[in-house]
Amino acid sequence: MTTGGAVLVTGAASGIGAATARRLVDAGRKVVLLDRDGEALAALAAELAGACTALTLDVTDNAAVDALPSTIPDDFQPIAALINNAGHDPGGTTRFDQGSAEDWQSAVETNLLGTMRVTRAILPGMVERNAGDIVNVGSIAGLRIVPTMAAYHASKAGVHAFCDALRADLADTAVRVTEIMPGLTKTDLIRRRYRGDQQRADEYYARFQMALDPDDVASTILFALEAPPHAMIAQIVILPQNRW
């Protein structure tokens, strides 16, 4: 990652996004925090003090995302790295024919289209400077299929393909594209999947006996960013130790 500029993190208010923001600040980087949860975002910004700026934004709001570059304060410009981390899976673990179209549309709009649109908003500046990192937080679900998660799988498989295609598009530039594919990680996504039912979320994690912590994934993101400029960490799969 280039030494100048800031790092923009989507889905920054909790989970992997918040853990990544903390690690970046600890590493001396300025961070632009993006999330649609303004209250949680403000709490994290207060914790990180002057090292960050917080922008409440929903990555599915096309107009707001298109205007994003002009809303970032000058002292957090340019964006040296973009971490596309915002994720959603409402109504997940439901057989496809029994779930709602609104739920699977929401998952695809956040996980895939949100990643693409935020990238499209930030990437031109990187190409112009011929420097930058795009890190997309995908999922092992983009590679391996299990029942009752059709929309989530489709969205993360789309992120996987997008990363490969984007890497090809940018091959004649110095902009790097990294895909991080975590296995089960203990974040708020599962509770939100179950409409805020914490007991169901706890039972889901208990089935698997082991899950990654958000900081495990954050450390992997930092590893990719800290690679020498001529080296690109294209893909990383990180799993709980008891998975294969």
Domain-embedded: residue 1: no
Domain-embedded: residue 10: yes
The CATH number given to whatever domain includes residue 61 is 3.40.50.720
Domain-embedded: residue 244: no
Q: Which pLDDT score, from 0 to 100, does residue 192 have? A: 87
Q: Which pLDDT score, from 0 to 100, does residue 14 have? A: 96
Query: Residues 142, 180: contact at Cβ < 8 Å?
Result: no
Length of the chain measured in residues: 244
Q: pLDDT at residue 1 above 70?
A: no
Q: How many domains does the chain have?
A: 1
Query: Residues 132, 81: contact at Cβ < 8 Å?
Result: yes
Domain-embedded: residue 243: no
User: What does pTM read for this prediction?
Assistant: 0.95
Query: Residue 142 in 3-state DSSP?
Result: helix
Six-digit token string for 55? 């922008």
Catalytic residues: 152
Cα(191)–Cα(4) distance, integer angstroms: 37
Packing angle of the helix pair 115-129, 150-169 (nearest 10 deg): 10
Q: Which pLDDT score, from 0 to 100, does residue 49 have? A: 87
Cα(142)–Cα(231) distance, integer angstroms: 24
Q: Between 244 and 17, name the one with better pLDDT.
A: 17
Domain hosting residue 206, numbered range: 6-238
DSSP states of 14-61: SHHHHHHHHHHHHTT-EEEEEES-HHHHHHHHHHHGGGEEEEE--TT-
Dump pLDDT digits (tens) for 55-91: 999 999 999 999 999 999 999 999 999 999 999 999 8
Dump pLDDT digits (tens) for 115-172: 999 999 999 999 999 999 999 999 999 999 999 999 999 999 999 999 999 999 999 9
For the chain, percent of residues with pLDDT exceeding 70: 98
Query: Residues 10, 118: contact at Cβ < 8 Å?
Result: yes
Pick from 160, 44, 59: nearest CA to 107:
59
